[in-house]
Chains A and B, each alone.
Chain A
Amino acid sequence: MSDELILEMRGIRKAFPGVVANDNVSFDVRRGEVHALLGENGAGKSTLMNILYGLYRPDGGEIRVNGKAASFSSAREAIQAGIGMVHQHFMLIPVMTVAENIVLGVEPKKHLLLDESGAEQRVREISERFGLAVDPTALVSDITVGQQQRVEILKALYRGADLLILDEPTAVLTPQEAGELFQIIKSLQTDGKSIIFISHKLNEVLEIADRITVLRRGKTIETVPRKGATEESLARAMVGRDVLLHVEKTAAKPGDVLLAAKELHVLDDRGIEKVRGVSLEVRAGEIVGIAGVDGNGQTELIDAITGLQKIESGSVTIAGTQLTHASARAALDLGVGHIPEDRQRRGLVLEFSVAENIALHDYAKRPDARFGWLFPGRMTNRAKRLINDFDVRGGGPSTPAGALSGGNQQKLVAAREIDRDPKILIAAQPTRGLDVGAIEYLHRRLIAERDKGRAILLISLELDEILSLSDRILVLYEGQIAGEHTGEVSEEQIGLEMLGGRERSAA
């Protein structure tokens, strides 16, 4: 890393109607540096990067790339200046091969036709040079999310990027894949590339970044070297107050068994057995955490308990009532609350208003409806109360749920589920994609609900979350319980069980 600045942004300002997204923001990147851009959802990170990438025009300020003043009016111009961006959601064409995706738009040609082998050759060269292993002839639809991300990085490198913007790159990755991504970032760095790493995960930033810039409410709060920075200091800069990164909780006082599954077998949509004989119990007043790598049967287990997926064999008992051929309706009516893992696909109808979303389970019951007739005014009143109680920001009862930020959407889902006064609360990935402030809120809320005597089943891919919240931990591996722990247990031990007892390196 040299002191030479590859990018300088000075005094950047960008206002949208009613809100200043970037207010006198300054940011620079040295050659060969990993510079993390840290901030809560809505702090202005994306706006700043979209200005750099030519997608927004700034209202004021100056951008210099390699010492020369630059003003990009499109992504194409930014790419020509050596800037590459990997978006959080990939822009790949699934039916085309890796090589075809990478060269798309700048294809090597042979007599007007795509030079297929030439393209593959060049993709191979770059991927070997930077240690980004991926098969150029594979179809994008057939490769994993982690590999798709590599394709996106290769796309940027193929177009000659010297400065790579990675927008929350680990949000879609498993911990293993995230580890591999960090290796790639380090090798890019060795090769002289500069990287802007956008994140709101403190541990990652501390692991990979050389310098860290924190944004809050559109303003630069500080730029600090990694040395000397702590999770606590960064969290304080992000949120503007002290944040409890680790939840405080008292010992659980478990009561009656409210949720019991016995020898549960469940198939997924393609008919593959994903849950293979799981038995578990959750008692009133305790949080049972299920740890595991994504795809080990978590989704199917939740869906079976909540009546969304057929049970092949075995049984689910909710508050003493057995649900054999359950429907989602039956589970809801027995007192199951469910914060689903994908709030946008399942938890909310994004086109519906906040009030209509709050009524999603009980729209046909009093007070929302009577004899099939809806009372929108009553829905609105309930929505007003919950918006207030759960501090949902960004809109009122009539705002479409899709217009809320991710954190507020999650609060909306949590508000609805908790307000139904469920006996059992199933929280699947409750803090996915949320920033520290919202995570702190949800964690405290879950503990509070536990203390009210609800039985809580927590499913998370974040081992930290499982360890800090759970009173009891179950490890799910290939559809079976691979381990059970009460009390103190090391992260390494659970990590080992998550991989089926194999060595970590084998994964």
Chain B
Amino acid sequence: MSDVPVSHRQPGPVTRFALRLARLEGASAVLVPLATVILAFLMGGVVVFATQHGGIGTRVHNTLIAYNQILDGAGINWFGHFFRHPCLGFIPCHIASTNIHFPGGDIAAYNLSQTLLQTTTLVLTGLAVAFAFRCGMFNIGGQGQYLVGLIVANWIGVDLAGMSTLPHILIAISAATLAGAAWAGIAGVLKATVGAHEVISTIMLNWIAFWGASWLVGGGPLQDPTNPFDPTSSAVANSARLPAFWGTPNFQALDISVFIAIGALVTFWVLLNRTTVGYEVRAVGFNPDAAAYGGINVKKNLIRAMAISGAFAGLAGAVDMLGYLYHIGEPDIPFIQVGFLGIAVALLGRNTAVGVLFSALLFGGLLFGTTHGLAAVPHPVIELQLAPNLTWLIEGFVVLFVSAEIVILWVWNVRKKARLPGPARPASTMEVAA
């Protein structure tokens, strides 16, 4: 290059140390969420323990049984059948009790299919929150974007009845996804133009979506005209329904949305790590000043990232509506929680594709395993009315612990910047030999 001397480089002790550290950090990306989950389950266990009667031994025993029953409720015991029997579980070999919703009455298979349905939704709402996080924004509006997706999918699914199946499904899914993107995009535009904080604007957009949807299906244009006294939308036409492949059709069988969710996970990873769009998103998320200096249009990225984030949530609404809900009633709307649960999924999954997958599985299992799944388990230890609260309890603890960890990391970073070293501070040892 010039007359400047070039030294011979070889990986010195510092490089090796840096590599080891990177590996350690990779490990902690798994260990810390795992510890978070275990701690949250322990705290949940304390509550179950407190609701039981008898001596300490009995209560501990009951608590363990309660968790075991939730696992059964989530259909995890299906894997036991799967490996024990040569028929690989698709044909019911082991019948604990009969279930009219599943071929052959395999209750475990039914539970698992329902867990996977919940997981599908949570993967998508989780990705929605995670994507915005990667651009430095907190999208609390997954709930509203999901609802918008649900409504638009219903509208297209009902209104374009008579189309052939594939285009109908594609149009309905695309429209709902775009609607979710547009809904979140409003918050992005507000942030980029007038600096309105996305937390505030997405929460407000949630309420607009909530009341808008309530009106649309409860007396508004989407209300089922054949039954004016039931505030419920019409059912999606058969041509727009996603094909199911596991279970009894029309009894919430597992549909192909689970593959759409897997596709979304791959898209999320590829988009972030292998495209210029993702590079910009990450740069803006880490350091908007440096991004602007690098020639990246920060405002454009805020809007775009918010829209992509909303697209994931809108897609979640679409696959739920076209996959198994088919219609939505006004009284059901207040009970929708998957948008908010996506926040916990993203936080626990550290905003990565793999993390979101595992935490969505966890929460999907909890969600079904503490409700309908548990209802089918013989002699549940926890009262059925109380059990669903365990999901919210554990979710609450997870969010609390993850947030506390964020606080700890923040303090850690401040310490790093302040050059006040702790004994294991990596940067100082780097400086020492650099």
Measured CB to CB, the residues of A under 8 A from B are: 16-19, 21, 41-42, 44, 46-47, 50, 55-57, 87-89, 91, 167, 218, 306, 308, 327-329, 332-333, 338, 340, 345-352, 356, 359-361, 363-364, 369, 372-374, 376, 387-391, 393-396, 398-400, 402-405, 407-408, 441, 444-445, 448-449, 452
Contacts and interface: CB of A to CB of B under 8 A. Distances in A.
B18 A403 contact: yes
B267 to A, nearest CB: 14
12 contacts: A18-B429, A21-B433, A42-B433, A44-B432, A47-B428, A50-B421, A55-B422, A327-B297, A328-B294, A346-B290, A363-B294, A445-B2
A87 B420 contact: yes
Interface stretch (B5-13, B34-42, B139-147): B5-13
A21 B432 contact: yes
Contact of B13 (A18, A338, A408, A448): A18
Contacts of B279: 356, 359, 363-364, 374
Given A349-B291, A360-B294, A46 B431 contact: yes
Contacts of B30: none
A19 B17 contact: yes
Contacts of B432: 16, 19, 21, 42, 44, 46-47, 218
Nearest to B1: A389
A404 to B, nearest CB: 7
Contact of B292 (A328, A350, A393, A399): A328
B259 interface: no
Contacts of B13: 18-19
A349 B290 contact: yes
A56 B13 CA distance: 21
B250 interface: no
A40 to B, nearest CB: 9
Contacts of A44: 432
Contacts of A364: 276, 279
A403 B430 contact: yes
Given A42-B432, A389-B6, A391-B7, A56 B423 contact: yes
B434 interface: yes
Nearest to B14: A394
B20 A328 contact: no
Interface string B289-312: 111111101000000000000000
B420 A444 contact: no
Contacts of A352: 282-283, 286
B277 interface: yes
Interface in B409-434: 417-423, 426-434
A18 B17 contact: yes
Contacts of B428: 16, 46-47, 50
A356 B291 CA distance: 12
Interface of B: 1-7, 9, 11-18, 20-22, 273-280, 282-283, 286-287, 289-295, 297, 417-423, 426-434
- Residue among A57, A306, A374 with most chain B CB within 10 A: A374
A361 B433 CA distance: 30
B434 A348 contact: no
A46 B430 CA distance: 12
Contacts of A308: 292-293
B275 A19 contact: no
A21 B2 CA distance: 33
Nearest to B293: A346
B430 to A, nearest CB: 5
Nearest to B271: A372
- Residue among A55, A57, A408 with most chain B CB within 10 A: A55
Contacts of A389: 1, 6
Nearest to B21: A403
Contacts of B291: 349
Contacts of B430: 394, 403-405
Contacts of B7: 391
Contact of B419 (A89, A350, A395): A89
Given A19-B17, A352-B286, A360-B290, A448 B2 contact: yes
Contacts of A340: 293
B434 A347 contact: no
A228 to B, nearest CB: 30
- Residue among A19, A89, A404 with most chain B CB within 10 A: A19
A328 B277 contact: no
A332 B295 contact: yes
Contact of B9 (A348, A393, A398): A393
